[in-house]
Amino acid sequence: MRSLSNYWEDKLLRAGAQEESPVTEQPYGKLAMYRDIFGHGICLLEFSAEGYDVYL
């Protein structure tokens, strides 16, 4: 289910980042995790209409 912004996913992968976890559905939206060539973690978030308010 890869429906986060393909622009950012493609940009990260072209720059050498590696996908750590595929896109997952969370209560607040969609989440994908990447690691850049230096080992820094990068999270891509796509919020649902409720966002973090689902936890309130």
pLDDT the model gives residue 3: 56
The single-letter code of the amino acid at 55 is Y
Number of structural domains the chain divides into: 1
pTM across the whole model: 0.75
CATH code of the domain containing 48? 3.30.720
pLDDT the model gives residue 4: 62
Q: Domain for residue 45, yes or no?
A: yes
Q: Domain for residue 1, yes or no?
A: no
Q: Domain for residue 23, yes or no?
A: yes
pLDDT the model gives residue 1: 42
Rounded distance between C-alpha atoms, residue 24 and residue 19, angstroms: 12
The ranges of the chain with pLDDT < 50 are: 1
Look up the domain containing 25 and give its range: 6-55
